[in-house]
């Protein structure tokens, strides 16, 4: 008999062995099941196969029709010069060349990467620091309240976050009021309308949405780190900083990976916040690929160009996310 | 021990600061919504004469009733079907494990990180060809497809951990696979299902891109989609815009506060798996 832990999928035609069954796991769901042993007691094995596919069919059908087909079509459209109504003209890789050479389009990709600093780097870094600092109070009553409060930005639509912050960052808004209060009246401005501050201002909105999520995720991850590790570090005379880098950060590898993945996707595929807060302006200063695709396809009727940018966006996300997954899952199990 | 007490204090202070940063924007929104319509109130200031009527004005002129109903219909169209299909496929990939299933499963996982913008253009033409543009189906059907990668992955993770002997025992007792699924496995999956239901509800309710691209009329959109039109309508009347925004986010916030335990658990697990 094979090892009881066998993550490799086995077909239902595997020999039916119903002896030595592992005990049922308790309520907590382990990532790897302990008992993948007795299988295939079903009478008709071929029928089991068919039934399996029948069960998966609706999900696969919806996925194929509403995700895979459009995805293939996006790739197809990306080689066309097409306004969506008349005849499509094939232009080879022309649209892709334009995506990388037209300053407006390549800028929008660049902006998405700038947003990674705000959507991803700041929330993850801040989340790590805060999670480390609140370790001792995370289980307190205050911690319980914080769990609810810090999730609020996750619960409201991103559009609402955009509206809230458009007002906070407006020339009469709270941010400027606070700046005036502390004697920084000289720097006040309409943050989202200023060429030099619009993109960081959009970034701040994303940071606000995501910092609570990261903090709570990392904090939950920290509660799983063996406390004796910290005690041992203390005994060895490690300070808080040393402790942070030798125990906390390595122990949170998986959670950090999750936070980075989620937030990077949020940055690269940002749409809602930018659409509401700046509509890509002033000028093109906050134009991001998601919004650019929307404008190109539905206002300018440049279906081919929009699709090429969409393909590039999908590839960018994969390019960032796949290595991240590989990196964090490597010794995860 | 002395250091630990100091650290606890720092932790508390930091936590409170972070909570303030999270909550103050909502408070500003609320206070601003109480100012006379058409004015430009400054930041955080309590109005002399709070205009509670702004909420009524926003409610009626945004036709909030219709918006709520529309969002509810869309949620009712998406969530049950996505749950059922996701669970069935998760069961197939996690328990039945048919030959070649892994390939199909990997194909699904591929869609896990797909930005919606990546397929929105062909989706528009597809919906037009189906004759579904400007109907709620234009949001419902694609969302079911778009949620499948996550739903199947989520439910498969549950079914993988259910011991096989449970199915064995039930089939020895003469249960068909359909009964096995509905009578034995689906009830056992309830915790996983309810978390998934919460996440799907939230993502549907807050879906913006599909709503504004595929449906023209705000009152056939999701709540978030309607908010976009709302801003266009009242972009210049700050107090009314704030009142409307508050109204529009209220349903999810209320549900969140009522079911906060389940929500927090679901959101935490959800981001780990996503």
Quickly list DSSP for A79-93. Answer: TEE--SSS--EE-TT
A257 shares a domain with A299: yes
Q: Do B231 and A311 touch (CB under 8 A)?
A: no
CB B214 within 8 A of CB B230: no
Query: Chain A, 86-145: which have a CB under 8 Å from a chain B CB?
Result: 130, 133-138, 142-143, 145
Assign A21 a pLDDT band (cuts: 50, 70, 90).
very low
Predicted pLDDT at B233:
72
> CB distance from A239 to chain B under 8 Å?
no
8-state DSSP, A41: -
Comparing A140 with B146, which gets the higher pLDDT?
B146
* A292-309 CB burial, b ≥16 within 10 A, e <16: bbbbbbbeeebbbbbbbb
Identify whether B155 is part of a domain: yes
- Quote the mean pLDDT of chain B: 88
pLDDT higher than threshold 80 for residue B228: no
A113 shares a domain with A81: no
Assign B213 a pLDDT band (cuts: 50, 70, 90).
very high
pLDDT higher than threshold 80 for residue B243: yes
User: How far is Cα A314 from Cα A322, in angstroms, rounded to an integer?
Assistant: 12
Beta bridge partners of A81: A89
8-state DSSP, B18: H
Q: Tell me which H or E stretch contains B60.
A: helix B53-61
| Mean pLDDT, residues B162-175 | 78
Residue pairs spanning A and B at CB distance below 8 A: 349
- As to burial, measured by CB atoms within 10 angstroms (0-12 exposed, 13-18 middle, 19+ buried), residue A141 is exposed
Report the predicted TM-score, pTM, of the whole model to 2 decimal places.
0.87
Domain that holds residue A68: 40-90
A264 shares a domain with A200: yes
Q: How far is CA B121 from the centre of its chain?
A: 23
A143 shares a domain with A66: no
Assign B190 a pLDDT band (cuts: 50, 70, 90).
very high
Assign B215 a pLDDT band (cuts: 50, 70, 90).
very high
**In the listed set A90, A118, A152, which residue is the last one of a domain according to the structure?**
A90
Identify whether B4 is part of a domain: no
A120 shares a domain with A255: yes
Predicted pLDDT at A10:
34
A225 shares a domain with A136: yes
Predicted pLDDT at B223:
82
Identify whether B228 is part of a domain: no
**CA-CA distances (angstroms) from residue B175 to A57, A159, B185?**
22, 49, 12
Q: How many domains does chain B have?
A: 1
First to last CA, chain B: 39
A198 shares a domain with A124: yes
A266 shares a domain with A239: yes
B214: domain CATH number? Answer: 1.10.3720.10
Q: How many domains does chain A have?
A: 2
Identify whether A2 is part of a domain: no
Q: How far is CA A5 from the centre of its chain?
A: 31
Identify whether B58 is part of a domain: no
A224 shares a domain with A202: yes
A158 shares a domain with A132: yes
Domain that holds residue B110: 64-223+254-268
CB A93 within 8 A of CB A305: no
CB A70 within 8 A of CB B123: yes
B61-110 per-position pLDDT tens digit: 888 888 899 999 999 999 999 999 999 999 999 988 888 889 999 999 88
Q: Which residue does chain B place closest to A179, by CA atoms?
A: B43
pLDDT higher than threshold 80 for residue B149: yes
Identify whether A4 is part of a domain: no
CB B52 within 8 A of CB B34: yes
Q: Do A149 and B241 touch (CB under 8 A)?
A: no
Identify whether B168 is part of a domain: yes
ipTM value for the complex = 0.91
- Quote the mean pLDDT of chain A: 84
Residues 6 or more apart from A39 whose CB is under 8 A from it? A10, A12, A14, A16, A17, B97, B164
């Amino acid at each position: 008999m094979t090892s009881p832990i066998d993550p490799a999928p086995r077909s239902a035609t595997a020999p039916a062995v119903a002896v030595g069954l592992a005990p049922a796991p308790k309520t907590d769901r382990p990532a790897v099941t302990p008992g993948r042993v007795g299988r295939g007691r079903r009478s008709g094995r071929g029928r089991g196969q068919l039934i399996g596919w029948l069960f998966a069919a609706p999900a696969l059908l919806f996925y194929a029709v509403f995700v895979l087909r459009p995805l293939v079509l996006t790739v197809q459209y990306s080689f066309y010069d097409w306004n969506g109504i008349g005849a499509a003209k094939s232009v080879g890789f022309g649209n892709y060349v334009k995506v990388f050479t037209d300053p407006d389009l390549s800028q929008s990709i660049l902006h998405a990467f700038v947003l990674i600093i705000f959507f991803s780097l700041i929330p993850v870094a801040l989340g790590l620091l805060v999670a480390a600092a609140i370790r001792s109070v995370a289980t307190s009553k205050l911690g319980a309240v914080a769990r609810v409060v810090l999730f609020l930005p996750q619960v409201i639509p991103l559009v609402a976050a955009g509206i809230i912050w458009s007002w906070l960052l407006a020339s009469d808004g709270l941010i400027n009021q606070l700046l005036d209060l502390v004697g920084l009246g000289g720097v006040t401005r309409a943050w989202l309308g200023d060429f030099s501050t619009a993109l960081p201002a959009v970034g701040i909105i994303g940071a606000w949405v995501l910092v609570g999520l990261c903090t709570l995720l990392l904090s939950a991850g920290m509660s799983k780190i063996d406390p004796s590790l910290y005690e041992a570090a203390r005994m060895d005379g490690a300070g808080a900083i040393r402790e942070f880098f030798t125990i906390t950060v390595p122990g949170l590898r998986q959670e950090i990976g999750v936070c980075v993945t989620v937030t990077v996707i949020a940055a690269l595929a940002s749409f809602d916040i930018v659409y509401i807060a700046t509509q890509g302006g002033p000028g093109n200063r906050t134009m991001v690929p998601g919004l650019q695709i929307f404008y190109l396809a539905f206002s300018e009727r440049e279906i081919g160009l929009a699709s090429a940018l969409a393909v590039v966006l999908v590839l960018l996300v994969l390019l960032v996310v796949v290595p991240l997954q590989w990196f964090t899952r490597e010794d995860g199990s | 021990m002395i250091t630990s007490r100091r650290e606890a204090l720092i932790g508390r202070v930091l936590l409170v600061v972070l909570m303030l940063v999270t909550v103050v924007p909502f408070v500003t929104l609320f206070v601003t919504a109480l100012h006379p319509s058409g004015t430009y109130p400054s930041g955080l200031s309590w109005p002399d004469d709070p205009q509670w009527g702004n909420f009524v004005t926003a409610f009626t002129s945004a036709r909030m009733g219709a918006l709520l109903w529309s969002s509810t219909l869309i949620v009712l169209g998406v969530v049950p079907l996505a749950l059922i299909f996701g669970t069935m496929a998760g069961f197939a990939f996690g328990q039945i494990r048919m030959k070649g299933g892994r390939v199909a499963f990997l194909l699904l996982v591929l869609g896990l990180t797909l930005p919606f913008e990546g397929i929105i253009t062909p989706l528009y033409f597809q919906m037009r060809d189906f004759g579904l543009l400007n109907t709620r189906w234009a949001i419902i059907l694609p969302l079911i497809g778009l949620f499948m990668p996550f739903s199947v992955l989520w439910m498969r993770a549950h079914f993988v951990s259910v011991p096989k002997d449970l199915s064995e025992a039930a089939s020895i007792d003469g249960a068909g696979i359909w009964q096995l699924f509905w009578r034995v496995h689906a009830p056992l999956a309830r915790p996983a299902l309810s978390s998934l239901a919460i996440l799907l509800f939230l993502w549907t309710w807050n879906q913006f891109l599909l709503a504004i691209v595929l449906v023209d009329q705000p009152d056939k959109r999701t709540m978030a989609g309607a908010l976009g039109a709302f801003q266009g309508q009242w972009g210049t009347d700050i107090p009314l815009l704030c009142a409307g925004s508050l109204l529009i986010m209220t349903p999810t916030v209320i549900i969140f506060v009522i079911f906060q335990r389940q929500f927090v658990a679901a959101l935490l697990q959800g981001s780990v798996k996503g």
